Amino acid sequence: MGDSSGTDTDERQGEQGSYVEESFERDTNYITTRITRDARDGHRVEAGRYRLVVARACPWANRTIIVRRLLGLEDAISMGICGPTHDRRSWTFDLDPGGVDPVLQIPRIQDAYLKRFPDYPRGITVPAFVDTTTGEVVTNDFKQMTVDMETEWREFHREGAPDLYPEHLQDEIESVSKPIYTEVNNGVYRCGFAGTQDAYDSAYERLFTQLDVLEERLRTRRYLVGDHITEADVRLFTTLARFDPVYHGHFKCNRSKLDEMPVLWAYARDLFQTPGFGDTTDFAHIKAHYYVVHRDVNPTGIIPSGPDLSNWATPHGREELGGSPFGDGTPPGPPREVVPADHNPVLALL
């Protein structure tokens, strides 16, 4: 998954994928065990039983962090946070005292994978749910994880939580999200890890064609689907937040910066300034991960000082399009797990 750990044997790690004719192809064979109300896969929704393991650097994990916060699931689902970089084996809990997760009592998420699958052959990725009663990974299927948090965990949602996956909009959410995933979320990686000029040119064209489509879609509507934030917006936001700091330069997605695409830039700022989005974004971790871990793309490991991120705090004017972030609901309270002030100085400007 995106920036999750463990692929082949190279230093890229964070990319669970392979190459077909020198074009990056993501491996989407995740652990599909689900946590549901009826426990049909053997794992029942239960407050306090599961730990969500994430890395703030990873866009796929960032989705789960946003959804957990918007829905107020902090008391029901604890969260372990890995550091922004990792070695060949997996993400590590190097932010915790002694380098050990205080709940799972392991130094790296790989241990939870191997506890369940001693010969696990695939990437050791985040996000992942771990069953604290067994210490075993349950799932790393990032897309299903957020949908299940939105639907299967409803009894534990906070009062005023938004409906991020309303039943009557689910088909539209998935329809809109499909090209976002293939052309944008995954498209930036196809640009960055292209092995030939032709592969890069194709990925670049597909990426910006879809960004232009989204620019037009969002010109007359505040959110991607419906009149309040949904799962579709969460899926797009985490790529947009990383676009100028990382993808524009590091992955050669440089036709234009996000702040040069006026509609998408206003849309991204609108979400960033909404509780749950900007306050879960750790720019320091994002830059450290991509520029340090991807040594085949950035051999020196130098982390660039820019760009200036203060423009994320500027007015966006999207309120004029109608709608409201949470529909009939309310914003979440202050974050439980706070991004350090020097990792996201924009928040002090809001």
Q: List active site positions.
A: 58, 189
Looking up tokens 């998420």, which residue turns up? 109
Sign of CA dihedral 26, 29, 30, 35: positive
d(CA 55, CA 91): 8
Whether 13 contacts 7, CB under 8 Å? yes
d(CA 7, CA 123): 5
Looking up tokens 């210490």, which residue turns up? 135
First to last CA, the chain: 31
What would the two tokens of residue 270 be? 């609108």
Among 226, 326, 316, residue whose Cα is nearest residue 269: 316
How far from 315 is each of 83, 271, 274, CA to CA, in Å? 32, 12, 12
For residue 75, give every residue at least 6 positions away whose Cβ sits within 8 Å of its Cβ, in sequence order, or none: 47, 156
Q: Among the residues of 41-105, which ranges form H helices?
A: 59-71
DSSP 245: I
Residue 6 half-sphere exposure toward CB, CA atoms < 13 A: 19
Residue 268, H or E segment: helix 262-272
d(CA 302, CA 299): 8
- Is 91 annotated as ligand-binding? yes
Among 56, 72, 71, 64, residue whose Cα is nearest residue 234: 64
Binding residues for glutathione, as ranges, are: 91
Binding residues, as ranges, are: 91
